[in-house]
């Protein structure tokens, strides 16, 4: 039994539920000879991956759906062995270059060259190129981005890249200008709520539109999250009731609880306690920027406007620093400690004002 | 089961063998990207970069060719210039006479020692296959040379000197400061400047006519404006518009903005409005929406900068304060900082300045 998120993933450009005009444009794109490199970007859960699979299906037919997982091995010039998981069909291959961290350049370059070198297996196939899907390209190192520049021009006859990113801020202009950028905004609350209702209908369930709306709102415009929450609600209680509890992701509740702790008591004890929480989050693979953002937006809630801006400015400083060190915990803690100082002073001052 | 990479051996030393395969495969009938299709064929087709063009034309007319260093922003014709010159110098032998290495190729010190050296040591005769004379040297093009390691650059220095009889080097990079001094001093340097808007406009117009595109002059102009003097960017954008809209469709201003990633004016206004309201949750909400709509943070910073510089709403001193914040935030973003937090930080700074204005 597959999850609803997988079971009801649209498989055709024409079946996509929202951004229909864009889907139509993408369809035209696949029918032309001059298919460009693509850069598909948007927040997580906006449906980028679904769109990419639809594009591939349009290009190559059902063959792209026969996927296999394979581990590829690479060797750096210094003879270090690298392994990376790939998902591929006869027509495309997908990797997440950031899996190999600072060695992403070698993996990406070797892969492109090899793909460009192998002739299309299916001689009768209407496409003379294969597709390399690179996910998470926000995290590509500068080095890898530089290396991609000329490669993208040079090997364009035999392979096309589809780059997938949450945001394009960190991509160099050189990479951006070599791709056709496709912006994929998160679907609206209304769109998500109608997707939920459709899924429920197909499952033979009834869902009050008010409840679907409520889930959509809680999902933060993230379709994947919304569908997961909806399925979880179904397991919890069916028939649905508008008042039923909608479970939010564990990590979200965890960060909220942690932030409450920080706001309640500013002490070395709390700091030590929070360290444990932070480690917990890091170990579970919650991305640093998610931890930081959620924590910040929770922490500023009880502050006045001038303190808010002071805290944001500190957060911006420490969050940026975190990108450089390899020990995230230091920077998280430094920020928490800074917050505690500022907040404690603020509380004392306001109490002082009262007397 | 036929695997995706059956015939490929990964991790091996694949280099110029690739180029050959690739070159043979690229037949004429293939639809090529416009950047390639409209790459200047001769040096005289290069616009704007008159210093480099002049020198190269003299070389094509028979003068000796110095080692070259081309530097300047992307899409200004550096690669095109050297490729065109090589084609003119060597005629149809030009593929045998150039070695093109770029940052994608493995270019550690070992490669400089082996590949470059081996190629440099090949002899080059002074007559073509067809009996016509041609220059008795080869050209090694090191594209994107700013990503060569320092050790590799140092190794290159010796090779450059030793092989100067039969080999010319052409180094291409964006930042000349990344090239070590002993190398730059051995080359004749040419700075490639961003192309004038009028020049880009002309070329785009030419392409538009060739490709049968329906595009108004003011839309074309908007496209030129967003390109920042980068001809590659302008060309790809135009092609992207054409590809996305399909045959015979008219390209609108909206399309150009979408393709170039320009943030619509309304969003800048809303950002400022949120700051002006002195209401933090409004600012927070704006930024969340902005990110959910997948607009690019670095782009809104650029546009915000334009606005701040030109507005009457702030005093010069306030502009300086905001400008400094803009600089910091933009640097941090480039460096991997979170869009959400960095945009909030800028927003708060602007908010404070607004509240001072009263
Ligand atoms: N000065 C120029 N004159 C004519 N075309 C240019 C010029 N500069 C760039 N182009 C066009 O822009 C594209 C990219 O140029 P390229 O030489 O690869 O740029 P660079 O190597 O400087 O990044 C080519 O298609 C070329 O036709
Ligand atoms: Mg170039």
Give the minimum alpha-carbon distance from A245 to chain B in angstroms, rounded to a whole number: 25
Q: Is residue A241 part of a domain?
A: no
- Least confident range from A32-36, A276-280, A283-287: namely A32-36
Closest residue to atom 9 of ligand 1, CA basis: B77
**CA–CA distances in Å: residue A49 to residues A25, A46, A296, A321:** 17, 9, 29, 31
Q: Is residue A244 part of a domain?
A: no
- Least confident range from A33-37, A130-134, A299-303, B328-332: namely A33-37
Give the minimum alpha-carbon distance from A282 to chain B in angstroms, rounded to a whole number: 17
Identify which of A169, A91, A148 has the alpha carbon closest to the alpha carbon of residue A125.
A91
Rounded-to-integer distance, Cα A260 and Cα A256, Å: 6
Q: Which of B232, B235, B238 to mutate for ligand 1's pocket (most ligand atoms within 8 Å of CB)?
A: B232
Maximum pairwise Cα distance, chain B: 82
Q: Is residue A231 part of a domain?
A: yes
**How many domains does one find in chain A?**
3
Q: What is the DSSP string of A86-118?
A: EEE-SSEEEE-GGGGGGGHHHHHHHHHHHHHHS
Q: Which two tokens stand for residue A123?
A: 């001689």
Among A114, A147, A297, beta carbon nearest to B103: A147
User: Peptide bond preceding A239: is omega within 30 degrees of 0, i.e. cis?
Assistant: yes
Residues A339 and A283 occupy one common structural domain: yes
Rounded-to-integer distance, Cα B119 and Cα A260, Å: 67
pLDDT tens by residue, A78-102? 889 999 999 999 899 999 999 998 8
Which of the ligands is closest to the CA of residue A173? 1
Q: How far is the CA of B257 from the centre of ligand 1 (A)?
A: 22
Q: How far is the CA of B31 from the centre of ligand 1 (A)?
A: 19
Among B6, B108, B236, beta carbon nearest to A177: B236
Q: Is residue A69 part of a domain?
A: yes
Given A151, A166, A183, the domain boundary residue is A183
- What percent of chain A has pLDDT above 70? 96
Contacts of B284 in chain A (CB under 8 A): 297
pLDDT value at A310 more than 80: yes
CA dihedral B213, B216, B218, B221 (to 10 degrees): 10
Question: Do the beta carbons of residue A220 and residue A248 sit within 8 Å?
Answer: no
Rounded-to-integer distance, Cα A221 and Cα A43, Å: 9
Given A166, A183, A200, the domain boundary residue is A183
Which structural domain range is residue A217 located in?
A: 189-236
* Model pLDDT, residue A264: 94
The phi and psi torsions of B151 (rounded to 5 degrees) equal -65, -40
- What percent of chain A has pLDDT above 90? 61
Helices and strands in chain B, H and E counts: 18, 7
* Model pLDDT, residue A302: 85
Residues A178 and A193 occupy one common structural domain: no
Question: Do the beta carbons of residue A302 and residue A263 sit within 8 Å?
Answer: yes
Given A152, A167, A183, the domain boundary residue is A183
Identify which of A156, A150, A182, A13 has the alpha carbon closest to the alpha carbon of residue B243.
A182
Cross-chain Cβ contact A154/B259 below 8 Å: no
Write the ipTM.
0.92
**CA–CA distances in Å: residue B106 to residues A48, A55, B114:** 32, 32, 12
Closest residue to atom 4 of ligand 1, CA basis: B46
Rounded-to-integer distance, Cα A183 and Cα A25, Å: 12
Give the minimum alpha-carbon distance from A278 to chain B in angstroms, rounded to a whole number: 18
The mean pLDDT values, 10 residues at a time, for chain B of 358 residues are 42 38 40 85 92 91 91 93 92 86 66 78 74 83 85 86 88 92 93 95 94 90 90 89 79 88 92 95 96 94 94 95 96 92 97 88
Residues A179 and A200 occupy one common structural domain: no
Rounded-to-integer distance, Cα A241 and Cα A248, Å: 17
Q: Is residue A91 part of a domain?
A: yes
Identify the closest residue of chain A to B3 by CA–CA distance.
Answer: A90
**Other beta carbons within 10 Å of A102:** 11
| Residue B130 near chain A (CB below 8 Å) | no
Cross-chain Cβ contact B261/A308 below 8 Å: no
Cross-chain Cβ contact A74/B106 below 8 Å: no
* Model pLDDT, residue A204: 94
Between B126 and A321, residue with greater pLDDT? A321
With 0-12 CB in 10 A as exposed, 13-18 as middle and 19+ as buried, what is A203? middle
Identify which of B311, B337, B334 has the alpha carbon closest to the alpha carbon of residue B322.
B311
* Model pLDDT, residue A172: 87
Closest residue to atom 18 of ligand 1, CA basis: B79
- What percent of chain B has pLDDT above 90? 53
Cross-chain Cβ contact A180/B244 below 8 Å: yes
Rounded-to-integer distance, Cα B237 and Cα B259, Å: 6
Contacts of B292 in chain A (CB under 8 A): 43, 46, 185-186, 220-221
pLDDT band, residue A117 (cuts 50/70/90) = confident
Rounded-to-integer distance, Cα A12 and Cα A51, Å: 8
Q: How far is the CA of A244 from the centre of ligand 2 (A)?
A: 59
* Model pLDDT, residue B21: 38
Q: What CATH code is carried by the domain that includes residue A315? A: 1.20.272.10
Model pTM? Answer: 0.80
Q: Which of A68-74's residues contact partners 24+ apart within 8 Å by CB, and which partners?
A: A70/B3, A70/B4, A72/A107, A72/A111, A72/B5, A72/B10, A73/B10, A73/B11, A74/A100, A74/A103, A74/A106, A74/A107, A74/A110, A74/B10, A74/B11
Residues A129 and A208 occupy one common structural domain: no
Residues A81 and A214 occupy one common structural domain: no
Q: How many residues does chain B have?
A: 358
Residues A24 and A169 occupy one common structural domain: yes
Cα dihedral B197, B198, B201, B206 sign: negative
Residues A263 and A131 occupy one common structural domain: no
Rounded-to-integer distance, Cα A289 and Cα A293, Å: 6
Q: Which two tokens stand for residue A306?
A: 């001038």
Q: What CATH code is carried by the domain that includes residue A29? A: 3.40.50.300
Residues A105 and A219 occupy one common structural domain: no
pLDDT tens by residue, B182-240? 999 999 999 999 999 999 999 999 999 999 888 999 999 999 988 889 998 899 889 88
With 0-12 CB in 10 A as exposed, 13-18 as middle and 19+ as buried, what is B161? exposed
Across B109-118, b (16+ Cβ under 10 Å) vs e yields bebbeebbbe
Identify the closest residue of chain A to B28 by CA–CA distance.
Answer: A157
Q: Is residue A294 part of a domain?
A: yes
The three-state DSSP-derived secondary structure of B112-136 is HHHHHHHHHHCCCCCECCCCCECCC
Q: What is the mean pLDDT of chain A?
A: 90
At residue A267's C-alpha, the angle toward residues A265 and A271, to 5°, is: 95
Rounded-to-integer distance, Cα A140 and Cα A253, Å: 30
Residues A104 and A26 occupy one common structural domain: yes
Contacts of A34 in chain B (CB under 8 A): 31-33, 239, 243
* Model pLDDT, residue B166: 87
Please report the atom of ligand 1 found closest to the CA of residue B35.
25
Q: Is residue A143 part of a domain?
A: yes
Q: How far is the CA of B46 from the centre of ligand 1 (A)?
A: 8
* Model pLDDT, residue A222: 95
Question: Do the beta carbons of residue B86 and residue B97 sit within 8 Å?
Answer: yes
Identify which of B125, B48, B50, B52 has the alpha carbon closest to the alpha carbon of residue B93.
B125
**Other beta carbons within 10 Å of A237:** 10
- Kind of pairing between the strands at A38-41 and A159-165: parallel
* Model pLDDT, residue B20: 39
* Model pLDDT, residue A41: 96
Among A93, A128, A323, beta carbon nearest to B336: A323
Residues A173 and A206 occupy one common structural domain: no
Cross-chain Cβ contact B104/A157 below 8 Å: no
Residues A165 and A23 occupy one common structural domain: yes
Maximum pairwise Cα distance, chain A: 86
Between A115 and A50, residue with greater pLDDT? A50
Give the residues across from B68 on adjacent strands: B170, B188
For an interface test with B, the pick among A102, A177, A303 (most B C-beta atoms closer than 10 Å) comes out as: A177
Q: What is the DSSP string of A123-191?
A: TT-S-S-EEEEE--GGG--HHHHHHHHHHHHHTTTTEEEEEEES-STTS-HHHHTTSEEEE-PPPPHHH
Cross-chain Cβ contact B144/A121 below 8 Å: no
Give the minimum alpha-carbon distance from B131 to chain A in angstroms, rounded to a whole number: 31
CA dihedral A277, A280, A281, A282 (to 10 degrees): 120
Q: How far is the CA of B205 from the centre of ligand 1 (A)?
A: 16
Q: Is residue A77 part of a domain?
A: yes
Among B14, B232, B294, beta carbon nearest to A42: B294
Among B36, B230, B291, beta carbon nearest to A177: B230
Give the minimum alpha-carbon distance from B266 to chain A in angstroms, rounded to a whole number: 16
**CA–CA distances in Å: residue A239 to residues A9, A48, A192, A218, A233:** 24, 32, 20, 20, 10
Angle between helical axes of B265-276 and B297-310 (0-180°, round to 10): 70
pLDDT tens by residue, A38-53? 999 999 999 999 999 9
Q: How many CB pairs under 8 A join A and B?
A: 240
Determine the distance from the C-alpha atom of residue B10 to the mean position of all C-alpha atoms in its chain, rounded to a whole number: 29
Residues A87 and A13 occupy one common structural domain: yes
* Model pLDDT, residue A122: 54
Residues with CB under 6 A from ligand 1: B 35, 38-40, 46-49, 74-80, 192, 195, 231-232, 235
Please report the atom of ligand 1 found closest to the CA of residue B76.
8
Which of the ligands is closest to the CA of residue B40? 1
Q: How far is the CA of B295 from the centre of ligand 2 (A)?
A: 28
Q: How far is the CA of B232 from the centre of ligand 1 (A)?
A: 6
Q: What is the DSSP string of B258-281?
A: HHHTPPPHHHHHHHHHHHHTT-HH
Give the residues across from A38 on adjacent strands: A162, A180
Give the minimum alpha-carbon distance from A46 to chain B in angstroms, rounded to a whole number: 8
Cross-chain Cβ contact A177/B30 below 8 Å: no
């Amino acid at each position: 039994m597959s999850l609803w998120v997988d079971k009801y993933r649209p498989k055709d450009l024409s079946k996509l539920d929202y951004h229909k005009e864009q889907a139509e444009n993408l369809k035209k794109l696949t029918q032309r000879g001059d298919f460009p490199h693509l850069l598909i970007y948007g927040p997580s859960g906006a449906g980028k991956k679904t769109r990419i699979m639809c594009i591939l299906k349009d290009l190559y037919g059902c063959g792209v759906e026969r996927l296999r997982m394979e581990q590829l091995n690479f060797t750096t010039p210094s003879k270090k062995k690298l392994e990376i998981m790939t998902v591929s069909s006869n027509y495309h291959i997908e990797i997440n270059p950031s899996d190999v961290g600072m060695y992403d350049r070698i993996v990406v370059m070797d892969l492109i060259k090899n793909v460009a070198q192998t002739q299309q297996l299916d001689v009768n196939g209407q496409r003379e190129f294969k597709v390399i899907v690179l996910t998470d390209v926000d995290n590509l190192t500068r080095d890898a981005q530089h290396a991609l520049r000329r490669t993208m021009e040079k090997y364009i006859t035999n392979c096309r890249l589809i780059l997938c990113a949450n945001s394009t801020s960190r991509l160099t202009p050189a990479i951006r200008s070599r791709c056709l950028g496709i912006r994929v905004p998160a679907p609206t609350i209304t769109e998500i709520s109608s997707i939920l209702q459709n899924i429920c209908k197909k499952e033979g369930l009834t869902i009050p539109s008010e409840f679907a709306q409520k889930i959509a709102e809680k999902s933060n415009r993230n379709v994947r999250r919304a569908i997961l929450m909806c399925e979880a609600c179904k397991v919890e209680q069916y028939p649905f009731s508008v008042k039923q509890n909608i479970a939010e992701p564990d990590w979200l509740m965890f960060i909220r609880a942690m932030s409450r702790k920080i706001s309640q008591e500013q002490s070395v004890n709390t700091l030590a306690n929070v360290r444990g929480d932070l480690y917990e989050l890091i170990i579970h693979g919650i991305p640093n920027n998610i931890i930081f953002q959620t924590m910040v937006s929770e922490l500023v809630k009880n502050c006045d406007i001038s303190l808010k801006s002071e805290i944001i400015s500190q957060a911006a400083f420490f969050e940026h620093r975190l990108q450089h060190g390899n020990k995230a915990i230091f920077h998280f803690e430094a920020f928490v400690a800074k917050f505690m100082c500022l907040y404690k002073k603020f509380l004392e001052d306001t109490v002082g004002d009262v007397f | 089961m036929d695997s995706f990479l059956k015939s490929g051996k990964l991790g091996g030393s694949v280099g110029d063998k690739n180029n050959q395969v690739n070159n043979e495969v690229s037949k004429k009938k293939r639809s090529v990207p416009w950047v390639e299709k409209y790459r200047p064929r001769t040096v005289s087709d290069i616009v704007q970069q008159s210093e480099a063009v002049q020198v190269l034309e003299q070389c094509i007319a028979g003068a000796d060719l110095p080692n070259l260093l081309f530097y300047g922003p992307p899409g200004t014709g550096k690669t095109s210039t050297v490729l065109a010159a090589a084609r003119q110098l060597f005629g149809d032998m030009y593929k045998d006479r150039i070695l093109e290495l770029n940052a994608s190729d493995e270019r550690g010190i070992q490669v400089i020692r082996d590949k470059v050296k081996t190629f440099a040591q090949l002899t080059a005769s002074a007559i073509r296959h067809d009996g016509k004379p041609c220059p008795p040297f080869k050209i090694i093009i090191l594209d994107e040379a700013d990503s060569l390691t320092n050790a590799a650059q140092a190794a290159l220095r010796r090779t450059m000197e030793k092989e100067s009889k039969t080999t010319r080097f052409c180094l291409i990079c964006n930042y000349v400061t990344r090239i070590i001094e002993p190398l730059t001093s051995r080359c004749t340097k040419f700075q490639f400047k961003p192309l004038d808007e009028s020049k880009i406009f002309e070329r785009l117009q030419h392409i538009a006519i060739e490709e049968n595109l329906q595009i108004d002059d003011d839309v074309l102009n908007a496209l030129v404006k967003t390109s920042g003097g980068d001809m590659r960017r302008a060309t790809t954008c135009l092609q992207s518009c054409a590809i996305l809209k399909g045959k015979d469709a008219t390209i609108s201003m909206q399309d150009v903005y979408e393709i170039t990633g320009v943030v619509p004016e309304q969003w800048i206004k809303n950002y400022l409005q949120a700051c002006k309201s002195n209401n933090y949750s409004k600012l927070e909400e704006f930024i969340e929406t902005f990110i959910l709509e997948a607009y690019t943070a670095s782009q809104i910073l650029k546009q915000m900068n334009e606005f701040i510089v030109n507005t009457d709403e702030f005093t010069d001193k306030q502009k300086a304060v905001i400008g400094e914040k803009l600089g910091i935030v933009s640097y941090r973003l480039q460096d991997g900082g979170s869009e959400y937090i960095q945009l909030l930080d800028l927003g708060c700074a602007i908010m404070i300045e607004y509240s001072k204005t009263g």
